C-alpha cells in the first residue's frame, strides 16, 4: 500500500502540495507519505526546485485547542511547512443551528479557506485524509470536498481505517493508534443549537474519562441527560468508577448520566438521518 500512496503525490509536487492536517491517524499518514514523495524526488534530481509540503491546520471553535498544538508539533517534525488557520465556523449562521447537513456546511467553509490559503502559499493542490471506511458512514462533508476539487488519496486508493493504522505503525508514526477525534458538534443531536459552554463542558468530561484509562470516549448530550459511550470491552470498567463518574458529570452541570450498553460506535447520532 505504501508503494501506492507515496508515488500518488509525484505528479503534484512541481505545482505544490497542501495537506489539510488535523494530526489524526489519516492526515498524519498522508502528510508523511507526501513528505517521503518529496524526499524521493529531491534525491533523484537534486537540482529540482520542489516546494516543501505545506500542512494547514484549521483551528476552529469546534476542535480543542490542544489538538492544534499537537498537530503543529507533529507536522514540523515531519519536515513540512506548517500554517495554522483560524476559522470561525459560525460566520455561517446555519452551522450554529446544527442541521443534518452541518458537516457539509462546515467542510465547505473550512476547505474553501484552506484552499485559498494554500494558493497564497503557492500550493495548487489540496489533499485531505478521508479513507474508504468513511464511505460506510453518514459523511455529507465528502460532497463538499468533491465540489471544491479536494483530493482524497486514501479514499481514491481504497485504503481503509485499519490499513491506515497498519501502515502508520510500519512508518513508526505516533498516531498509529490515536483515537478518532471528530468535531465536538457530533456530541449533540441534529437540530440542537450549538453552544460553546455546553461543548466545552462535554470536552472536559471526555478528558477526565480518558484519564481514567478509557480509549474511545464520547459523551453524547440528550438534554438533560449525558449518554456515555466507551469501547464494549470497557463497559464493566465504567461501573467500577461509577461514583467518580457520576460526581464528575454532575459537577459539570448535567442532571442525569447513563451508560450506553452498545458501547462506542462512530456516528451514533446519525442513526435517524434519512
Q: Is 103 a catalytic residue?
A: no
For residues 180 and 102, what is the distance between their CA atoms, to the nearest angstrom? 19
Instruction: Give the count of alpha carbons within 13 A of 161, CB side only.
Output: 12
For residues 161 and 124, what is the distance between their CA atoms, to the nearest angstrom? 27
Q: Which DSSP string corresponds to the chain?
A: -HHHHHHHTGGGGGG-EEEE--SSHHHHHHHHHHHHHHHHHHHH-TT---PPPEEEEEE-TTS-HHHHHHHHHHHHHTT-EEEEEE--GGGSHHHHT--TTHHHHHHHHHHHHHHHHHHHTT--EEE----GGGGGS--THHHHHHHHT-B-HHHHTT--HHHHHHHHHHTT-TTTTPPP---GGGGS-TTSPP-HHHHHHHHHHHHHHHHTT-SSEEEEEETTEEEEEE-GGGHHHHHHTHHHHHHHHHHTT-SEEEE-TT---TTGGGTT--
The active-site residue, picked from 18, 35, 106, 183, is 183
What distance, in Å, lies between the first and last C-alpha atoms of the chain?
A: 35
Which residues are catalytic, by number?
A: 183
Amino acid at each position: 500500500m505504501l508503494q501506492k500512496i507515496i508515488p500518488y503525490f509525484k505528479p503534484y509536487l512541481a505545482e505544490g502540495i497542501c495537506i489539510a492536517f488535523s494530526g489524526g491517524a489519516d492526515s498524519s499518514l498522508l502528510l508523511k507519505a507526501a513528505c517521503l514523495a518529496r524526499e524521493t524526488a529531491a534525491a533523484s534530481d537534486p537540482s529540482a526546485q520542489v516546494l516543501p509540503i505545506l500542512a494547514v491546520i484549521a483551528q476552529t471553535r469546534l476542535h480543542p485547542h490542544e489538538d492544534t498544538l499537537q498537530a503543529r508539533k507533529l507536522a514540523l517534525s515531519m519536515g513540512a511547512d506548517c500554517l495554522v488557520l483560524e476559522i470561525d465556523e459560525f460566520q455561517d449562521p446555519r452551522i450554529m443551528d446544527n442541521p443534518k447537513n452541518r458537516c457539509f456546511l462546515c467542510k465547505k467553509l473550512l476547505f474553501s479557506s484552506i484552499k485559498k490559503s494554500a494558493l497564497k502559499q503557492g500550493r495548487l493542490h489540496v489533499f485531505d485524509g478521508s479513507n474508504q471506511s468513511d464511505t460506510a458512514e453518514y459523511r455529507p462533508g465528502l460532497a463538499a470536498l468533491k465540489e471544491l476539487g479536494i483530493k482524497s488519496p486514501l479514499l481514491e486508493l481504497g485504503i481503509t481505517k485499519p490499513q491506515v493504522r497498519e501502515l502508520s505503525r510500519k512508518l513508526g508514526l505516533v498516531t498509529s493508534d490515536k483515537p478518532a477525534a471528530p468535531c465536538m458538534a457530533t456530541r449533540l443531536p441534529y437540530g440542537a443549537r450549538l453552544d460553546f459552554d455546553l461543548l466545552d463542558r462535554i470536552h472536559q468530561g471526555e478528558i477526565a474519562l480518558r484519564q481514567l484509562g478509557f480509549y474511545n470516549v464520547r459523551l453524547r448530550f440528550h438534554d438533560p441527560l449525558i449518554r456515555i459511550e466507551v469501547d464494549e470491552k470497557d463497559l464493566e470498567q465504567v461501573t467500577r468508577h461509577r461514583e467518580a463518574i457520576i460526581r464528575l458529570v454532575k459537577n459539570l452541570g448535567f442532571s442525569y448520566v447513563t451508560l450506553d450498553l452498545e458501547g462506542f460506535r462512530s456516528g451514533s447520532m446519525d442513526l435517524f438521518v434519512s
